[in-house]
Amino acid sequence: MSQTCGHLDQIDTAVSADSEIGCSDCLAIGSRWVHLRECMRCGHVACCDSSPNRHAARHFDESGHPVMRSIEPGEDWYWCYVDEVAFTIEG
């Protein structure tokens, strides 16, 4: 496991969350989620690995977009699936 994310160049700072509030994949199948993550490449909102369907991980597997961020209130961390590291970005 890496200590740093080598994919910061793939973060699109203009990304904003999908207009729907919730995991768009879960909403489409009538399922539930635990926590939400946003893809920092395309803005896709998906559920975390603690959710039954793990749509954020599936989005990474299908798209190759490596970095997600938590969009839970009060959380400001990111996760890189490739480097398997959580991090924050000083702003």
Q: Domain of 84: which CATH number?
A: 3.30.40.10
Residue 76 resides in a domain = yes
Residue 1 resides in a domain = no
How far apart (Å, rounded) are the C-alpha atoms in residues 17 and 40? 9
The residue segments making up the domain with residue 76 are 8-88
Residue 83 resides in a domain = yes
pLDDT band at 1 (very low <50, low <70, confident <90, very high): low
- pLDDT tens digit sequence for 44-91: 999 999 999 999 999 999 999 999 999 999 999 999 999 999 999 886
| Averaged pLDDT for residues 14-20 | 65
**Out of 1-5, 25-29, 41-45, least confident range:** 1-5
Which DSSP symbol is given to 42?
Answer: T
Structure tokens that stand for 1 in this block? 């496991």
Main-chain phi, psi angles of 9, to 5 degrees:
-70, -10
How far apart (Å, rounded) are the C-alpha atoms in residues 86 and 80? 6
pTM higher than 0.85, yes or no?
Answer: yes
pLDDT of 21 reads 81
pLDDT of 28 reads 95
